[in-house]
Amino acid sequence: MTDILPQKNPKKFNCDICDFVSSNKKDYGRHIMTPKHQNTAKILPNTDVFTPKNPKKTPDDLSYCFNCDCGNKYKHRQSLFNHIKKYPNHQYINTKLNESELILTLLNQNNQLQNQIVDLCKERNSLAINNTNGHINSHNKTFNLNVFLNEHCKDAMNITDFVDSLKLQLSDLENMGRLGYVEGISSIIVKNLKEMDIHKRPVHCSDSKREVMYIKDEDKWEKENDEKIKLRKAIKKIAHNNSKLIPKFKEKHPDCNKSDSKFADQYNKLIIEALGGSGDNEAEKEDKIIKKISKEVIIDKSII
């Protein structure tokens, strides 16, 4: 009795791109030399020629990894091949990166991210330093200004005392009639402030562009508010005191109220300007006067 040996499973040679299977290696060799196989290999480059008949499934095999430039995706090479045979103008797209390319891409992206983080940190540090320096400089300026006002200018005149101390002349009234209300009142105030010692003045300006004014009132220095209430009050009182000089003009020129007098026009002009003049409203005229004053009493930064 002879033993019957189990038949061995013949080794199979498989060409996936042509769907060719053979257990004979010579037949497989002849196949890959055929024009059909070589033409197919040209159409589907970067594909494996030989794979086992039943390869182990991998995640890539389960996905659509054979892509055409028209947008179609296939799970199998043969399906893609059939599609390209039908549409000769279409081309296979190799969407897989090899391991080296993938590593280089990841490293490059990582370096770019690190550079962005470094730049962001530098920018934040620079902003923090600038803000700190800005706060320090602002604090120092405020401190120096307070020292200047409360120490060097502690004997300055109160704004109300300054107004009451003005010795207005008839020439001041006549000058206002000639120049107009704004220029006339501004001239009176600025002229008298400039005649005073800088440390005795009742008003100082730390920023003429923004008109930041400091007023001495009731024996203490205060930053004037946005409405400039104290300055406006002083302007009104000076203008009122100036208008009280009109009777002196009439005493000097008794016939000025007569139409045929050579002083008639001047007299009428004095009355108009003494009452605030024409044109802008009262607040706008006061704004212009304050602006002129601020430019003349600006604090010299070198002395504080």
Rounded to 5 degrees, φ, ψ at 20 are -110, 130
- Choice between 74 and 165, residue whose per-residue pLDDT is larger: 165
216 exposed, middle or buried (CB, 10 Å; 0-12, 13-18, 19+)? buried
Rounded to 5 degrees, φ, ψ at 40 are -65, -40
d(C-alpha 200, C-alpha 271), whole Å: 34
Would you say residue 228 has pLDDT above 70?
yes
- Coil, strand or helix: which one is 200? coil
Evaluate if pTM is beyond 0.75.
Answer: no
Q: What is the DSSP letter of 8?
A: P
Output the DSSP codes for 102-159: HHHHHHHHHHHHHHHHHHHHHHHHHHHHHHHHHHHHHHHHHHHHHHIIIIITTTPPPH
d(C-alpha 206, C-alpha 212), whole Å: 6
Quickly list H helices, 244-281.
246-252, 264-274
* Sequence-separated (6 or more) residues with CB below 8 Å from residue 174: 249, 266, 270
Tokens 């004053």 label which residue? 293
What's the distance, Cα to Cα, between the start and end of the chain in Å? 126
d(C-alpha 75, C-alpha 69), whole Å: 15
For residues 299 and 153, the answer to whether their CB atoms sit within 8 Å is: no
Mean of pLDDT values over 52-75: 56
Percentage of the chain surpassing pLDDT 70? 73
Would you say residue 58 has pLDDT above 60?
no
Tokens 């024996």 label which residue? 219
- Coil, strand or helix: which one is 257? helix
What pLDDT, on a 0 to 100 scale, did the predictor assign at position 280?
Answer: 77
Residues 41-51 have pLDDT tens digits of 665 555 544 44
**Sequence letter at residue 165:** S
Would you say residue 66 has pLDDT above 80?
no
Mean of pLDDT values over 62-67: 56
Mean pLDDT value across the chain: 80
Rounded to 5 degrees, φ, ψ at 67 are -115, 145
What pLDDT, on a 0 to 100 scale, did the predictor assign at position 9?
Answer: 56
- Choice between 21 and 254, residue whose per-residue pLDDT is larger: 254
Q: What is the 3-state secondary structure (H, E, C) of 29-93?
A: HHHHCCHHHHHHHHHCCCCCCECCCCCCCCCCCCCCCEEECCCCEECCHHHHHHHHHHCCCCCEE
Residues 245-265 have pLDDT tens digits of 999 999 999 998 888 888 899
Q: Which two tokens stand for residue 181?
A: 């209300």
For residues 215 and 153, the answer to whether their CB atoms sit within 8 Å is: no
Q: Which two tokens stand for residue 146?
A: 């307070």
